[in-house]
Structure 1
Amino acid sequence: MSTSAHRLIVSVLLIAVALTSIHAVTATDHIVGANRGWNPGMNYTLWANNHTFYVGDLISFRYQKMQYNVFQVNQTGYDNCTIEGALGNWSSGKDFILLDKAKRYYFICGNGGCYSGMKVSVVVHPLPSPPTSAAVAAEHSSSTSSASEVFRHGPSVVARVVVAVFASIWFGSAAWI
Structure 2
Amino acid sequence: MARRQALLLAVVAVAATVCLAPLASATYWMVGDEGGWRAKFNQTGWADGKTFMVGDNLLFMYQQGAHTVIQVGKDDFVSCNLQGKQLGSWTSGNDIVHLDKPGKVWFFCSVPGHCDNGMKLVVDVQDAAPAPVVSPAPAPQW
Q: Taking structure 1 as the reference length, what is the TM-score of the superposition? A: 0.67
Report whether the alignment pairs 1:8 with 2:2. Answer: yes
Query: Which residue is equivalent to 1:19?
Result: 13
Query: Which residue is equivalent to 2:34?
Result: 35
Query: Which residue is equivalent to 1:146?
Result: none
SS at match of 1:10: helix
Query: Which residue is equivalent to 2:91?
Result: 91
Residue 102 of structure 2 aligns to which amino acid in structure 1? A
Report whether the alignment pairs 1:108 with 2:102. Answer: no
Shift of 1:45: 6.7
CA distance change for structure 1 residues 82 and 45 in 2, over 3 Å: closer, same or farther?
farther
SS at match of 1:121: strand
* Distance across 2 between alignment mates of 1:105 and 1:41: 19
Aligned residues: 131
Residue 71 of structure 1 aligns to which amino acid in structure 2? I
State the Cα deviation string for residues 5-55 of structure 1 (Å, max 9, x = none). Answer: xx2111110111112212212221111101110011334672112321111
CA distance change for structure 1 residues 133 and 18 in 2, over 3 Å: closer, same or farther?
closer
Shift of 1:103: 1.5
1:70–1:90: 8 Å Cα contact kept in structure 2?
Answer: yes
Residue 77 of structure 1 aligns to which amino acid in structure 2? D
Please, which runs of 5 or more residues in structure 1 have no aligned partner?
1-6, 135-155, 161-175
1:55–1:101: 8 Å Cα contact kept in structure 2?
Answer: yes
Q: Which one is further off, 95-104 or 21-30?
A: 21-30
The structure number with the bigger radius of gyration is 1
Matches within 5 A, 1:24-173: 24-25=21-22, 26=24, 27-43=26-42, 46-83=45-82, 84-111=84-111, 112-132=113-133
Residue 104 of structure 1 aligns to which amino acid in structure 2? K
Please, which runs of 5 or more residues in structure 2 have no aligned partner?
none
Query: Which residue is equivalent to 1:153?
Result: none
Structure richer in helix, relative to its length: 1
Structure richer in strand, relative to its length: 2
Shift of 1:92: 0.6
SS at match of 2:116: helix
Residue 98 of structure 2 aligns to which amino acid in structure 1? L
RMSD after superposition: 2.2
* Distance across 2 between alignment mates of 1:103 and 1:44: 22
